[in-house]
Amino acid sequence: DAGVTQSPTHLIKTRGQQVTLRCSPKSGHDTVSWYQQALGQGPQFIFQYYEEEERQRGNFPDRFSGHQYPNYSSELNVNALLLGDSALYLCASSWGHLQETQYFGPGTRLLVL
Amino acid sequence: GQQLNQSPQSMFIQEGEDVSMNCTSSSIFNTWLWYKQDPGEGPVLLIALYKAGELTSNGRLTAQFGITRKDSFLNISASIPSDVGIYFCAGLETSGSRLTFGEGTQLTVNP
């Protein structure tokens, strides 16, 4: 049983570019949450997707957008990249209302130059 | 938004010692969670607490949900080298959808 998988593992972009990060949830999970973790800090909630819709959103600008597919996999898109977007982006999956049992993927390390 | 204050930021201990770290919030949470994160990996859930006053153990780890629902602590007994990592507290909002994390406690265990 595969856990949460994310791709790519590492990514380097330049300011102004756009990036797409991908997440496949743990088998049996239907909800995907995305977090941004800056170096030396705890993860910050970006948004959550359930039934292909954004259910809740954290304090992130509209440059951050997402999508969930019918197979529950999800994408995180960031437009007009800024240096401050450099971080580890974590995906977490869970089933329905059981948000306390979120399983995290290994993350995608994004570096913006 | 809600913030969690986690302390200490870092700890350096000898193998075999006990460790204690805590988390406080300005807001109430319905659930408190403790995670461990190793380098290059995502956080892994250690303990979940669901009721005020609840004391829960997982092996050498013990955590408590504060009576006020605004704090929690984690104890690690008889530390071993593999306990090295970053420990995060997290609170789950009433809506149950969003986790708010503390800033982490970096634990170093000297053999």
Provide the pLDDT for residue A22.
98
Q: What is the mean pLDDT of residues B37-48?
A: 92
Q: What are phi and psi of B32, to 5 degrees?
A: -115, 140
CB contacts, 8 Å: A97 with chain B: 96
pLDDT in tens, B44-100: 999 999 999 999 999 999 999 999 999 999 999 999 999 999 999 999 877 667 889
CB–CB contact A43 B101 (8 Å): yes
CB contacts, 8 Å: A90 with chain B: 42-43
Least-confidence region, from A26-30, A43-47, B34-38, B94-98: B94-98
Q: How confident is the model at residue A102 (pLDDT cuts 50, 70, 90)?
A: confident
In the sheet that holds B71-76, the strands lie side by side as B4-7, B19-25, B71-76, B61-65, B55-58
pLDDT in tens, A46-64: 999 999 999 889 999 999 9
| Rounded distance between C-alpha atoms, residue A107 and residue A88, angstroms | 6
Among B41, B42, B104, whose Cβ lies nearest the Cβ of A42?
B104
CB-based contact, B25 to chain A, within 8 Å: no
Task: In chain B, count H helices and then E strands.
Answer: 0, 11
CB contacts, 8 Å: B43 with chain A: 43, 90, 104
Q: How far is B48 from chain A (nearest CA, A)?
A: 7
Q: Left, alpha or beta for A51 (phi > 0: left; psi -120 to 50: alpha)? A: left
CB–CB contact A56 B44 (8 Å): no
Q: How far is B105 from chain A (nearest CA, A)?
A: 10
CB-based contact, A21 to chain B, within 8 Å: no
Provide the pLDDT for residue A53.
94
By C-alpha distance, the chain B residue nearest A6 is B42
| Rounded distance between C-alpha atoms, residue A56 and residue B58, angstroms | 31
